[in-house]
Structures are given as C-alpha cells and as structure tokens.
C-alpha cells in the first residue's frame, strides 16, 4: 500500500511538471504576449519608446527557455510572481478567489449528487411507469439547458421579480442559493445518467437473480446489492466533475458576479498573463491528481475486490 | 457655441434628471450606502492608467487633482492649486497650493508631494515600471519654491499641461503609494489619495467598498457641494452581465450602473428611472484607415468607403438619441470641433463612381476586383466600444452593396494586439478616445503615440512606407502652440486634413451611459464621463 502510494505521488509530480511545461509552451505559441496586450491597449497611450522599455523591463523578449527556467525556478521556491494584468501578486489573486470557488463547487457537487441519486431512485420505482420515464429523460434535459440562460432566468424570476433573494449585495446565507442551483443542474445530469445505467446493468447480473430467488424484496436488493455495486463509476465521475467545476464555473461566476477561479482563468488566458495561468494550471493539476488519488483510495472500501487488485501490483 | 448644441441633443437623457432635481427641493440627505455596478473590474490603479473606465471610476473618488475642469464649461478651475501662472510660451507653470490638505495616510499634500507625483507622471520611473502619463508632454522637472508653491519646467512649450493637471490620470497620491512598483498598484487598498472617499475593503475582481473621509474639506471651490461627501459608503460591485445590471437597478438592488445597452434606455426611462449619458468629448467612434496597405492606399478607395458608409443608419438601428451622429473626427462637445458634415454625406452613387475610377470593377463573386485581386478588407471588433461588432457588421453590409468585402474579426487579445500593428492584416480599425483637450487629436494620430493610421516611426515594425509629413507637422504644432486660439485653429485644420484625405470615417459620438434609481440625486460626471459620488445622495423612499 505504501509503495503504491509513493508510486502514485511520484506520478503526480510528473503530471504537475508536464502540465506546467505544456501550459507554458501553449501560451508561447499564441500570438502576442501579456506586455503587448497590457500596454499596447489604448488605455495608457504609451509611446513606442516607452513600450520598448517596458518589454525589456519585463524580459518579454528574452529567449523562451530562459523565461521557462526563470518561471519554473520561481515556482519551485513558492514565488508565483505578479499578474501583469491585475497588478497584484498571483498569490493574492489565488487566496481571494480560491475559497469562494471551493465553497461554490463543493455545494454544487453535493446538490448535484443529491439530485442524481433522487433521479436514479425514481428511475427504479415500481409501478408508476411515467415517473420512471420522466426520471430517465431528465438528465438529457438538464444537460441541454444552457447554464447562462438558466442563471439569468433564476435571477430575473427569484431575485428581480419575486424579490426572494438578493444577488447584488447578498447576505452570506443567500449568496450561494441561486448559483449552486444553476451549477447543480448541468452537473447532476452525467451523474444521474451513469448511476441509472449502472443500476440497470447491475440488475441484470446473475447475483441479483440469486438474491431475488432467495426471496429478497425489490427495495432490499436495490439498496443492499445494486446501488452499492453501481456506485464506483459514479464516484469516479463525480471526482472528474468536481475538478472541472473548480475552473469551469466561469459562466455562473460571471452572471452572479461572484468572482472565482473560473473568471480568473478566463482573464489570464485572454490576456496571456503567464504567471497567473501557470499558477492555475499547477493548482488545478494538483487538485485533479489529489482527487483521483482520493477516489482510488476510497474505491476499495466500496468494492473489496479492488483492494485485492491493488495489493497485487 | 458647440456646447449649447450638444446640450440640445443630449436633452432627452437629461430631462428626467432635471425633473427630479426640480421636485427635490428638500435638503440633501447625509449618510447611507450607495450601490454602484461596474461592468468590469479595474486592472491597475496607477493614476496615469486611469484612462481605463473601471479604474477611472475608482480613482475619481479617492484622489484629488491640482485643478478641476468644470464639466459644463470645460474651464479649468482651482482645486488643490488655489491659483497658477503660466509664462508666455507655456514652458513654465507655477502653482500655489491650498494649505492643510492631507492624504488619508496622514502625509501632507504639499509642494514636495506634488513634485514627487509630477516627476513620476512626467518622466516615469524605470525601476518601478511607472510609465509616463499620456497627458504630460515635454516635461523637464519640478522646483519646490516653498511648501505651498511649486514650479514645473518644460523642455518645449506644453500648452496642454494645464488641462492635463485636471484629468484622472493626474490624480495625486501619497508618496507611500508612489514608492510601490507598478506591479502592485492593482491593489486598491494601497492607493492612498486625498479624495473625499477612502478604500476600506476590497474583494479583488468583485467588490470595492469606499467610505467617506470625515475630515475632507478641500473639494473644488466652484463645485456645488462643499465639505465631506454626503454618502457614508459607496459599494462598487462588479457584474459583467448587462441584463443583471439593468435588472438590479430596476428592482432596487442597486442605485446606479455603468455601461447600459442602448436598447434598454427607453425601458429604463419608461419606468421612471434615470439615464445619464455624459459625453466623452474626444475622438469620435470612427473607422480608421491604414493607408500603408495597398488596398486602401488610393484616396479614391478611402473616399468611396467614406461616402459608402451610412452612419445615420448605424445610429438609428443600433443606438439611441444619446449617441449623436458624428459631424467631424472629434465630438461636437470637444474643444476646437468644426462641423464637417457636408463632407461626410452618404452617397453610394459617388462611392461607386470613385471605385470605378480607381479601377475596381465588379468581379464574379459580387466583390470588386482589380488585376485579379479582390477588394476584401478585415477589421477587429473592439469590445470596449458601444456595440462594436454590430456596428462593424452593419457597415460590412453597407460596403457589401458597393462590392467591397469587409470581414469582422473577433479573435483573442494577443492576435488582436499583434495584427493591429500590421497594416497588411488590418487595413482598417475602429477607434475612439475620451479626453477634453485638443491634444487628444494629436495623441491619437501622431506616429510615436497612439498612431492610429499606422505611419512609419511608431511601435509597429510592419509598416512599409506610409507617412504623411503634412499631417504630422500639423499635429506637432498642436502639442506646442501656446496660443489657445491658434491651437484651436490647428485642431480645425487637422480635422479637415483627416477628412479630406479620407483617413477616418467618423460614425457617432460615444457617451458613457449610466442607469440610476429615481432616488439618486446630485450624481455628477467629470469632463469625460467618469462618475463622481462626491455630491451624490439618496432621497428617502
């Protein structure tokens, strides 16, 4: 187990370095750079000489490998540098944006899981054929709803028309109600789909037939055997979705004016703000690696067969 | 006078505000919290970078300037400077400062502090990456004569300097702030001014909270409000979604919002809310040619496109009466404006004839060709300008009817930055700048500054040969002509050159548009449309 863990951590470090390098190379491949975007823009009206001077000061024309080693060296020392666009240390941007993103993502994921489980159970209800049909068609519907539209509709109806919650200067307790709902809808769809499919598949397994032949009732079989066996793929899915949520909630963040990693990433890419983007890439790669490691470690608890496979490695 | 003309045009927007003021003879209410919605967050608060509207909106509340440009008359009036003298050739300025002014960190705003500010803005600071301010030209040095008297010396005449001391980019900040590198000036809590508000809380990218400074007693003497600000607190909240900002004002969740789409104005006013549309008084929203590109090197082609552009249709279909059709390169509310609308007439027949004369004949695909080459042009939209994409696409349709193809590009910022330096890739570009001084026209077209025409001698290394020495000589003269009347005559001359050479197609005058609650009173805008909350207050429900 320890050896397995050490291996996984070594793998993780390699993944991080690769992510850092690939992101750096890709950014270099884009036309233009952060200094050009920031200072050529009309807001400051700088002269040709002044822009040339700033390019030298920022090392924007230094060879790429030099810039790479410089940035990598700084990262290894824990110095993320400054955002050229925002004029603040990258670490400050992260500490101000990360908590709100984490809160939003965790709550949205929890809500999405609840919705997914509910839909999966409804899809197995005995009798009430129409309930099963509706529950089974919901995921496709949820996936098809544009997040942007959903967010704006929720704001217009529940905040501006009915005045139930405030979105502009909300109290802490009401701040996340609509955004969590907006995010949970599209996230719950793939979860529900995978869960329903797996439950259906497990119901076809021979051991379910055996359990039934022994006289077990539908509910008992469902909870005791089927759901438990259908969980692992869903858990993997949830892990991946959570990773995506961390950086992928841009639309929700923008519509609700929440700020967060999503918007920060989008701005960093648009402005080729290398320092910020590198920090985000390393951070999200760390998150992905940690989450998938955690999922792998939890999996054997749900399915003892997996722990045997692990110890065989 | 151009001003009265403009106020007539702007009347629809100002009427509701006046009506409210008329019924509001009650004494202004002191205290309370105002919620202001911004479309974007500020990106850096180094004052010379305050041309960016979100940054200017913050700096205007927390910093004071040496002089105050009266937004109605555009006259330069005393503020931190009580009086000043200028020598005949505008190379020496002496300012007498108001006593007893302090920055919010306790530092004195005296001649020493002013010298430190202007030495930075006038010369830049390489080590701290502070750049030179666009509004200060030919700066040499400052001399502190006594604690309340300062002299500025210039290497060459600098007639635009007095107005330059009134703009947001010349906001005075504490010496402690000037000691920070540029890379840390995006943190509003570190920007210490002497203004009526101070930054008390910041959530980067999301919200900035300003509190009134209780001991503030040095507003412009001619400002209708005196003493400390009326409001206790201003919360500036960022929301990038237009419909949410408008809905928030209409539902009472916010009191005022910036960047209101033209098509929402009527709905807002119809519900008894206010729409403010202060003008930006600079270079109009326009299309600029890069004649270095052979396709638009021929004046006949440029003139054809100028007369083939129906600016009236742009204004009527996409905008509102707050966006008057342009009558010259600069706004009718700008100093030195001349009405050249007779040279800007929409005349598709003339346009077609000019293209034929230039040798561009109808080709097989509906696009005109000459020696096998298509008359196909490209331009980037500019998301910061009002309805830029829609405007460019409508013009593309108008030009399409003439047989000229215009591709409107979106593209990422990097590609835009690189391509906008290359006349071969962007033969035309949209442009617009706000500033209430005749110098604005020079800085927009002069090769070493904004260089909108892409002449040789600027930042771009892609320009082959285009340069217009006649135009440049006229622009040069604006920067150094100390006599105001002669300076305005030069500005008129430049406008004629730009139109007669068909370097520019002026489209419309671009205001800054805000929506405000009916409770909001005393809302003010500086000369180019940034909000000032100094005299603002909220009437009781």
Q: Which residue shows structure tokens 């300025």? A: B93
User: Which 8-state DSSP code applies to residue B372?
Assistant: T
pLDDT more than 90, % of chain A: 20
Is A79 within 8 Å of A197 (Cβ atoms)? no
Q: Which residues pair with A82 in a beta bridge?
A: A89
pLDDT for A256 beyond 50: yes
**d(C-alpha B290, C-alpha B285), whole Å:** 16
For B418, the closest of A31, A92, A159 (CB atoms) is A31
**d(C-alpha B140, C-alpha B323), whole Å:** 40
Give the tens place of pLDDT for each residue, B390-429: 999 999 999 999 999 999 998 788 888 888 889 999 999 9
Is B513 within 8 Å of B278 (Cβ atoms)? no
Q: Which residues contact B453 (CB under 8 A, 6 or more apart)?
A: B288, B289, B290, B291, B445, B466, B468, B503
Report the gap between the CA of B248 and the closest CA in chain A (Å): 7
Is B531 within 8 Å of B514 (Cβ atoms)? yes
**d(C-alpha A276, C-alpha A280), whole Å:** 6
**d(C-alpha B19, C-alpha A184), whole Å:** 47
| CATH placement of domain A90-304 | 1.10.3720.10
User: Does residue A223 or residue B137 have the better pLDDT?
Assistant: B137
**d(C-alpha B256, C-alpha B236), whole Å:** 10
β-strands B92-97, B81-86: how paired?
A: antiparallel
Helices (H), chain A: 2-29, 34-40, 48-57, 64-76, 90-122, 129-144, 147-154, 172-175, 177-203, 206-213, 218-221, 227-248, 250-256, 261-270, 274-302, 304-312
Report the gap between the CA of A302 and the closest CA in chain B (Å): 42
**d(C-alpha B157, C-alpha B482), whole Å:** 7
pLDDT for A33 beyond 90: no
**d(C-alpha B106, C-alpha B100), whole Å:** 11
**d(C-alpha A189, C-alpha B379), whole Å:** 41
Q: Give the phi and the psi of residue B260 in degrees, each rounded to 5.
A: -105, 125
Tell me what the mean pLDDT of segment B276-285 comes to: 93
Tell me what the mean pLDDT of segment A227-254 comes to: 81
Signed CA dihedral, A216, A218, A224, A228: sign only: positive
Report the gap between the CA of A46 and the closest CA in chain B (Å): 6
pLDDT more than 70, % of chain A: 95
For B414, the closest of A33, A155, A254 (CB atoms) is A33
pLDDT the model gives residue A9: 82
The gap between the terminal CA atoms of chain A, to the nearest Å, is 9
Closest-CA residue of B relative to A255 is B241
**d(C-alpha B29, C-alpha B395), whole Å:** 48
pLDDT the model gives residue A280: 87
pTM listed for this prediction: 0.89
Helices (H), B404-449: 413-419, 439-445
pLDDT the model gives residue A1: 64
On chain A, the residues whose CB falls within 8 A of the CB of B241 are 152, 254-255, 257
Mean pLDDT of chain B: 92
Per DSSP (E only), the strands in chain A are none
Q: Which two tokens stand for residue B230?
A: 């009326």
pLDDT for B5 beyond 50: no
Q: Which of B186, B285, B410, B445 to mutate to test the interface with A (most CBs of A within 10 A)?
A: B186
pLDDT more than 90, % of chain B: 79
Helix (H, G, I), strand (E, B) or coil at B207: strand
β-strands B368-370, B514-516: how paired?
A: unpaired
Q: Which two tokens stand for residue A220?
A: 């008992």
Triad B47, B178, A93: Cα angle to 5° = 75
Q: Which residues contact A250 (CB under 8 A, 6 or more apart)?
A: A262, A263, A265, A266
pLDDT the model gives residue A41: 62
pLDDT the model gives residue A42: 53
Give the tens place of pLDDT for each residue, A267-279: 888 888 888 988 9
**C-beta neighbour count of A126 within 10 angstroms:** 10
Report the gap between the CA of A276 and the closest CA in chain B (Å): 13
Tell me what the mean pLDDT of segment B45-60 comes to: 92
Closest-CA residue of B relative to A250 is B240
Q: Which residues contact B279 (CB under 8 A, 6 or more apart)?
A: B6, B10, B331, B333, B509, B511, B528, B529
Q: Which residue shows structure tokens 């004071």? A: B64
**d(C-alpha A245, C-alpha A268), whole Å:** 17
Residue A266: burial class (beta carbons within 10 Å; 0-12, 13-18, 19+): middle
For A31, the closest of B183, B254, B414 (CB atoms) is B414
Tell me what the mean pLDDT of segment A8-17 comes to: 85
Among candidates B332, B242, B350, which has minimal Cα distance to B279? Answer: B332
**C-beta neighbour count of A47 within 10 angstroms:** 21
Report the gap between the CA of B35 and the closest CA in chain A (Å): 8
**d(C-alpha B279, C-alpha B283), whole Å:** 11
With an 8 Å Cβ cutoff, are A167 and B44 in contact?
no
For A88, the closest of B184, B254, B419 (CB atoms) is B184
With an 8 Å Cβ cutoff, are B132 and A89 in contact?
no
On chain A, the residues whose CB falls within 8 A of the CB of B46 are 87
Is B191 within 8 Å of B85 (Cβ atoms)? no
With an 8 Å Cβ cutoff, are A37 and B131 in contact?
no
**d(C-alpha A97, C-alpha B204), whole Å:** 8
pLDDT for B14 beyond 70: no
User: Does residue A127 or residue A194 have the better pLDDT?
Assistant: A194
pLDDT the model gives residue B1: 32
With an 8 Å Cβ cutoff, are A46 and B134 in contact?
yes
Triad A25, A28, A34: Cα angle to 5° = 135
pLDDT the model gives residue A203: 81
Is B45 within 8 Å of B191 (Cβ atoms)? yes
Give the tens place of pLDDT for each residue, A136-179: 999 999 989 888 899 999 999 999 999 999 999 898 888 899 99
With an 8 Å Cβ cutoff, are A88 and B132 in contact?
no
Tell me what the mean pLDDT of segment A3-13 comes to: 82
**d(C-alpha A194, C-alpha B438), whole Å:** 66
On chain B, the residues whose CB falls within 8 A of the CB of A166 are 253
Triad B303, B309, B310: Cα angle to 5° = 140
Tell me what the mean pLDDT of segment B77-102 comes to: 97
Among candidates B529, B518, B530, which has minimal Cα distance to B236? Answer: B530
Report the gap between the CA of A179 and the closest CA in chain B (Å): 14
Helices (H) and strands (E) in chain A, counts: 16, 0
On chain B, the residues whose CB falls within 8 A of the CB of A57 are 126, 129
Give the tens place of pLDDT for each residue, B18-36: 444 444 467 899 999 999 9
On chain B, the residues whose CB falls within 8 A of the CB of A82 are 183-184
User: Does residue A241 or residue A244 have the better pLDDT?
Assistant: A241
**d(C-alpha B449, C-alpha A254), whole Å:** 35
pLDDT the model gives residue A309: 52
On chain A, the residues whose CB falls within 8 A of the CB of B243 are 152, 156
Q: Which residue shows structure tokens 């940054």? A: B55
Q: Which residues pair with A158 in a beta bridge?
A: none
Report the gap between the CA of A10 and the closest CA in chain B (Å): 35
Is A209 within 8 Å of A133 (Cβ atoms)? no
On chain B, the residues whose CB falls within 8 A of the CB of A61 are none
Give Cα B34 to chain centroid, integer Å. 25
Q: Which of A154, A251, A257 to mutate to test the interface with B (most CBs of B within 10 A)?
A: A257
Residue B27: burial class (beta carbons within 10 Å; 0-12, 13-18, 19+): exposed
Signed CA dihedral, B498, B504, B509, B510: sign only: negative
Give the tens place of pLDDT for each residue, B455-513: 998 878 889 999 999 999 999 999 888 888 999 999 999 999 999 999 999 999 999 99
The gap between the terminal CA atoms of chain B, to the nearest Å, is 40
pLDDT the model gives residue B538: 96
With an 8 Å Cβ cutoff, are B51 and A51 in contact?
no
β-strands B376-380, B405-409: how paired?
A: parallel
**d(C-alpha B379, C-alpha B288), whole Å:** 10
**d(C-alpha B422, C-alpha B418), whole Å:** 7
Q: What is the ipTM of this complex?
A: 0.84
With an 8 Å Cβ cutoff, are A47 and B449 in contact?
yes
**d(C-alpha A16, C-alpha A7), whole Å:** 14
Residue spans per domain, chain A: 2-76, 90-304
pLDDT for B4 beyond 70: no
**C-beta neighbour count of A228 within 10 angstroms:** 13
pLDDT the model gives residue A248: 67
Give the tens place of pLDDT for each residue, B290-336: 999 999 999 999 999 999 999 999 999 999 999 999 999 999 999 89
């Amino acid at each position: 187990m320890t050896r397995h863990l050490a291996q996984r951590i070594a793998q993780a470090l390699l993944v991080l370095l690769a992510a850092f390098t690939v992101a750096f190379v890709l950014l270099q491949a884009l036309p233009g750079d952060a200094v050009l975007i920031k200072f050529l823009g009309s807001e400051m009206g700088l002269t040709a000489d002044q822009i040339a001077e700033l390019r030298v000061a920022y090392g924007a024309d230094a060879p790429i490998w030099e810039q790479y080693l410089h940035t990598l060296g700084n990262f290894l020392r824990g110095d993320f540098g400054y955002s050229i666009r925002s004029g603040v240390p990258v670490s400050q941007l992260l500490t101000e944006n990360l908590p709100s993103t984490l809160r939003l993502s965790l709550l949205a994921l929890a809500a999405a899981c609840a919705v997914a489980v509910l839909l999966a159970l409804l899809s197995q209800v005995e009798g009430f054929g129409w309930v099963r049909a509706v529950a089974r068609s919901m995921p496709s519907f949820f996936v098809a709803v544009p997040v942007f539209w959903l967010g704006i509709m929720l704001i217009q109806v529940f905040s501006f028309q009915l005045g139930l919650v405030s979105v502009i200067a909300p109290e802490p307790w009401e701040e996340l109600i609509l955004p969590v709902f907006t995010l949970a809808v599209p996230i719950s769809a793939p979860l529900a789909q995978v869960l329903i499919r797996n439950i259906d598949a497990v119901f076809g397994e021979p051991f379910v037939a055996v359990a039934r032949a022994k006289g077990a009732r539908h509910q008992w079989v469902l909870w005791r055997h089927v759901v438990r066996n259908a969980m692992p793929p869903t858990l993997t899915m949830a892990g991946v979705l959570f990773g995506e949520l961390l950086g992928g909630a841009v639309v929700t963040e923008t519509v609700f004016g929440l700020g967060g990693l999503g918007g920060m990433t989008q701005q960093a890419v648009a402005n080729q703000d290398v320092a910020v983007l590198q920090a985000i890439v390393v951070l999200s790669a760390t998150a992905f690696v940690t989450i998938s490691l955690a999922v792998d470690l939890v999996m054997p608890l749900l399915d003892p067969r997996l722990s045997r496979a692990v110890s065989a490695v | 006078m151009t001003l009265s003309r403009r106020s007539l045009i702007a009347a629809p927007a100002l009427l509701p505000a006046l009506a409210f003021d008329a019924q509001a003879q009650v004494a202004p209410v002191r205290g309370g919290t105002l919620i202001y919605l911004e479309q974007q967050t500020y990106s850096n608060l180094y004052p010379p970078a305050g041309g960016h509207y979100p940054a200017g909106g913050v700096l205007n509340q927390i910093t004071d300037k040496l002089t105050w440009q009266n937004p109605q008359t555009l006259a330069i009036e005393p503020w931190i400077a009580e009086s000043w003298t200028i020598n005949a050739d505008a190379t020496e300025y002496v300012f007498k400062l108001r006593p007893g002014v302090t920055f919010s960190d306790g530092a004195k705003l005296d001649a020493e502090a002013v010298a430190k500010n202007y030495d930075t803005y006038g010369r830049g600071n390489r080590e701290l990456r502070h750049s030179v301010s666009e509004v200060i030209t030919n700066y040499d040095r400052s001399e502190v004569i006594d604690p309340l008297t300062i002299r500025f010396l210039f290497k060459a005449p600098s007639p635009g300097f007095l107005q330059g001391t009134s703009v947001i980019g010349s906001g005075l900040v504490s010496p402690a702030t000037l000691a920070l590198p540029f890379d840390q000036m995006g943190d509003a809590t570190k920007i210490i001014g002497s203004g009526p508000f101070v930054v008390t809380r910041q959530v980067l990218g999301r919200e900035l909270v300003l509190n009134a400074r209780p001991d503030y007693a040095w507003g412009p003497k001619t400002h209708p409000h005196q003493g400390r600000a009326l409001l206790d607190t201003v919360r500036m909240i960022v929301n990038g979604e237009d419909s949410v900002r408008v809905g928030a004002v209409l539902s009472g969740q916010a009191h005022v919002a910036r960047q209101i789409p033209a098509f929402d104005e009527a709905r807002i006013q119809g519900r008894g809310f206010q729409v403010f549309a202060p003008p930006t008084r600079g270079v109009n929203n326009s299309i600029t040619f890069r004649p270095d590109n052979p396709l638009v090197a021929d004046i006949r082609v440029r003139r054809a496109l100028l007369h083939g552009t129906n600016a009236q249709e742009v204004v009527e279909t996409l905008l509102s009466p707050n966006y008057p059709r342009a009558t010259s390169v600069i706004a009718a509310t700008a100093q030195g404006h001349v009405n050249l609308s007779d040279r800007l007439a929409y005349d598709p027949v003339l346009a077609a004839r000019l293209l034929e004369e230039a040798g561009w004949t109808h080709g097989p695909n509906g696009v005109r060709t000459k020696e096998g080459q298509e008359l196909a042009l490209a331009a980037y939209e500019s998301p910061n300008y009002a309805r830029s994409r829609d405007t460019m696409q409508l013009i593309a349709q108008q030009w399409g009817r003439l047989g000229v193809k215009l591709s409107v590009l979106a593209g990422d910022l990097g590609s835009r930055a690189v391509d906008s330096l290359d006349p071969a890739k962007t033969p035309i570009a949209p442009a617009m700048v706000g500033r209430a001084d005749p110098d604005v026209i020079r800085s927009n077209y002069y090769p070493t500054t904004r260089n909108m025409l892409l002449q040789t001698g600027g930042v771009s290394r892609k320009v082959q040969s285009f340069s217009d020495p006649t135009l440049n000589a006229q622009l040069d003269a604006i920067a150094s002509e100390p006599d105001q009347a002669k300076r305005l005559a030069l500005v008129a001359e430049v406008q004629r050159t730009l139109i007669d050479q068909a370097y520019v197609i002026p489209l419309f005058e671009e205001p800054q548009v805000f929506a405000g609650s009916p409770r909001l009173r005393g809302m003010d805008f500086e000369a180019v449309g940034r909000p000032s909350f100094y005299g603002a207050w909220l009437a009781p429900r």
